[in-house]
A and B are shown apart, each in its own frame.
Chain A
Amino acid sequence: MTLISDSTYTKNNPNILAQNKYNKRDTNFTGTVIYSTPNGKFVSAWKYIKGQLVSGAPYTGNNAKSNSLITRNNTAHNDILVNCTTVYAYTVDPETGGELPGSQVDLYTECDDGPLDYGASAGIDGGTTPTGTNGGGNGSPNNKTKSPCEPGGGSASSAAINAVKGNYAKSRVLQQNVGFPAPTTPAPTNPCPPGATTYPATTPVDPCAQRKYLATVALNSIIANQNAQILANGLKTGNEYGANENITNFQDSNPTYMNTPLSTSDSNEGWVPTFTWNPTSGYTIGISHYHPDGTAPSPDDIFVLMGNLLNNKDLSASPAGQTYYKSHVSVTAITNGTTYVVTINNWATLQTLYNQYIVNTDQYDTKYLSNVKINNGSYEYTLLSTFGDAINLYTAPNNSAIYTPVATNSSKSVSNVVCP
């Protein structure tokens, strides 16, 4: 067992690693534990943040065990200062000796001069530093246990899905209080830590073509009425109001929208969306809410869409539902004058960003807020430059169904995409 601790954990005190053994884990441990055979062959790896398991490259069986490798993929971000490394495991192709296509499992990304790079600022702290190893381990190497994601599985005392909180999604985290998982802990089931489940990129969405779909949604009488009420209540109180956009049957080519109640947190600092994926309460394929401060959708607004996909059991159990969700889901932010809609263009990119987000939401949000300031308070520019091809952003005057795609341009501005 090899421990790779984060510098934020050791804080120049490598002796703190002594608090971690195979059967004992410091509840504040931040770093990675890698299991290998006595010959150094990779078995499995697990990433912890403040004692909580956040991602892993699980044991995939005896055959894969002996052929799996853990490697690092260096990528330069922001051209100059921050070199980031994506650690991933893959299976060796016995014929070519190279990487078996489709076998790659991303573990996590960290940057040399900062653990994560979210924008153009110079992140510094928290780089991962190899600081020591612990040998031993008293688990049976072939004793397959339940995934630590599964209730009662592995050494986990409990597992829980954090509810959507504020207007942001929190990922499921593992409440694990004792040792590390057995080396041969199998792949966790969904909902799971990031890295265990990878959503492939869907076909890029033509933003001009998608305008028609958005117009159809906006013109639906139920949605139009909901949005009008959200705006009216928001303007009246200055607080955030919102509602789900639920349909009765996602397999219907012309779905029927349900009336869903407006809700508010009686605050101008957030709104709590809900999510359902069943015929009784409806299938949530969008959320719409008021932004009293006039800003574009926030990262939280978008990550909640990813969180639903990863964490909702009903949606996870429905491959057809996931396909529908991924191609239709949207988040709407209504401001005093402009209505913004975000749709997802590339789920793989979004998942990469989501994984960065949940590893350290404090740091992610701090960087994002800094980037808004760096970009002279432009929330639109910051959103688009942060999310890249993960999203499409549209704007429309309030109460209009004519949405215009917007994109960044080379002069640090946001401009309309010209559609035919």
Chain B
Amino acid sequence: MKKILTISILLHICFTAFSQEKFFRTSKAKVKMPIVAQKLTQQELADYVKSNFKDSAIPTDAENVYKINNILLSYWDWPVNTGEPKRTLEERKNLTLVSYNSFNKKHGNLFKDIEANIITVNNIKYLIDKHSYNNDVYIWFFSEDRKINSLLGLVQFSKGNETEANQVLNDFLKTVNIDNY
């Protein structure tokens, strides 16, 4: 009996260890999500994407993934000191457009509705990078570098939900607090 109990406990520990989600991409940003926002587990994200999109660019190792009606929103931090030459948001905007053009030149205009803009919300500058692919729309946001981190993330939705998605992103960015970041 003792043996069976021991094995059961070991199995439980193993199961718990393997089923626990491990996140590489987390965030220390203070944000407020709308009441309808549903935080997704990695499996829920995979299931939702499979049912609603052709593909997804939301990282599977991101801790903060939300479904807000039909919109997916995810965000995470990135360390400022990456060892790579620093680029301003303006330089990144230009690089973004070049990379899309280069991609489309090679792949026959698969990326559509390309936009890259710099906006300021609550005195924080963001690069907003948008494109559509296979009728799924992706809006990336990248904050300017803070002391230690920058905040970035992705809003993904189907064409047709653009107005709501823009609202979701605007509302989200308004709540972002990355003081002492």
Determine the distance from Cα of A114 to Cα of B83 in the docked complex, in whole angstroms.
Answer: 32
Q: A121-B56, A166-B105, A270-B105 are in contact. Are A412 and B46 (CB under 8 A)?
A: no
Interface code A349-386, partner B: CB below 8 Å = 1, 0 otherwise?
Answer: 00000000000011001100110111111111100000
Assess whether A78 is in contact with B95, with CB atoms less than 8 Å apart.
Answer: no
Residue B90 lies at the interface, judged by CB distance under 8 Å to chain A: no
Q: Give the number of residue pairs across the A-B interface with Cβ within 8 Å.
A: 129
Nearest to B65 among chain A residues (CB) is: A122
Interface code B50-67, partner A: CB below 8 Å = 1, 0 otherwise?
Answer: 100111111111000000
List residues of B (83-103) whose CB comes within 8 Å of A's CBs: 83-85, 87, 91-92, 94-95, 98-99, 101-103
Assess whether B85 is in contact with A361, with CB atoms less than 8 Å apart.
Answer: no
Which of A270, A370, A377 makes the CB contact (< 8 A) with B87? A377
Nearest to B138 among chain A residues (CB) is: A370
Determine the distance from Cα of A366 to Cα of B102 in the docked complex, in whole angstroms.
Answer: 12
Residues of B within 8 A of A335 (CB): 85
Q: A269-B101, A376-B142 are in contact. Are A78 and B54 (CB under 8 A)?
A: no
Determine the distance from Cα of A360 to Cα of B25 in the docked complex, in whole angstroms.
Answer: 27
Assess whether A124 is in contact with B56, with CB atoms less than 8 Å apart.
Answer: yes
Assess whether B59 is in contact with A376, with CB atoms less than 8 Å apart.
Answer: no
Residue A191 lies at the interface, judged by CB distance under 8 Å to chain B: no
Determine the distance from Cα of A176 to Cα of B163 in the docked complex, in whole angstroms.
Answer: 47
Assess whether B99 is in contact with A375, with CB atoms less than 8 Å apart.
Answer: no
Residues of A within 8 A of B154 (CB): 373-374
Assess whether A366 is in contact with B56, with CB atoms less than 8 Å apart.
Answer: no
Which of B22, B46, B94, B140 makes the CB contact (< 8 A) with A373? B140
Determine the distance from Cα of A37 to Cα of B133 in the docked complex, in whole angstroms.
Answer: 43
Assess whether A168 is in contact with B106, with CB atoms less than 8 Å apart.
Answer: yes
Determine the distance from Cα of A416 to Cα of B133 in the docked complex, in whole angstroms.
Answer: 36
Which of B49, B50, B106, B150 makes the CB contact (< 8 A) with A365? B106
Residues of B within 8 A of A337 (CB): 85
Assess whether B82 is in contact with A121, with CB atoms less than 8 Å apart.
Answer: no
* Whole-angstrom distance between the Cβ of A394 and the nearest chain B Cβ: 13
* Whole-angstrom distance between the Cβ of B78 and the nearest chain A Cβ: 4
Q: A122-B49, A122-B60, A376-B150 are in contact. Are A80 and B55 (CB under 8 A)?
A: no
Assess whether B106 is in contact with A412, with CB atoms less than 8 Å apart.
Answer: no
Assess whether B83 is in contact with A415, with CB atoms less than 8 Å apart.
Answer: yes
Assess whether A293 is in contact with B98, with CB atoms less than 8 Å apart.
Answer: yes
Residues of A within 8 A of B42 (CB): 80-81
Assess whether B46 is in contact with A81, with CB atoms less than 8 Å apart.
Answer: yes
Report, as a range, how many residues of chain B touch the other chain.
35 or more
* Whole-angstrom distance between the Cβ of B16 and the nearest chain A Cβ: 15
Assess whether A411 is in contact with B79, with CB atoms less than 8 Å apart.
Answer: yes
Assess whether A376 is in contact with B152, with CB atoms less than 8 Å apart.
Answer: yes
Which of A373, A376, A381 makes the CB contact (< 8 A) with B57? A373
Residue A79 lies at the interface, judged by CB distance under 8 Å to chain B: yes
Determine the distance from Cα of A114 to Cα of B46 in the docked complex, in whole angstroms.
Answer: 11
Residue A223 lies at the interface, judged by CB distance under 8 Å to chain B: no
Which of A166, A373, A379 makes the CB contact (< 8 A) with B84? A379
Residue A414 lies at the interface, judged by CB distance under 8 Å to chain B: yes
Nearest to A295 among chain B residues (CB) is: B95
Assess whether B79 is in contact with A412, with CB atoms less than 8 Å apart.
Answer: yes
Nearest to B108 among chain A residues (CB) is: A362
* Whole-angstrom distance between the Cβ of A228 and the nearest chain B Cβ: 20
Determine the distance from Cα of A20 to Cα of B21 in the docked complex, in whole angstroms.
Answer: 44
* Whole-angstrom distance between the Cβ of B153 and the nearest chain A Cβ: 10
Using a CB–CB cutoff of 8 Å, the interface residues on chain A facing chain B are 78-82, 113-114, 120-125, 166, 168, 268-270, 293-296, 335, 337-338, 361-362, 365-366, 369-370, 372-381, 406, 411-416
A-B contact pairs, 22 of them (CB 8 A): A79-B22, A80-B61, A81-B42, A81-B43, A81-B46, A120-B61, A121-B58, A121-B59, A124-B54, A270-B102, A294-B91, A337-B85, A338-B85, A361-B106, A365-B106, A366-B55, A366-B133, A369-B103, A374-B25, A377-B87, A413-B79, A415-B83
Known: A166-B105, A373-B140, A413-B81. 13 other contacts (CB 8 A): A124-B49, A124-B55, A124-B56, A269-B98, A270-B105, A293-B95, A335-B85, A369-B103, A372-B99, A373-B152, A380-B84, A406-B83, A414-B82
The 6 lowest CB-CB distance pairs between A and B, nearest first, are A376-B78, A370-B57, A269-B102, A414-B83, A120-B59, A122-B56
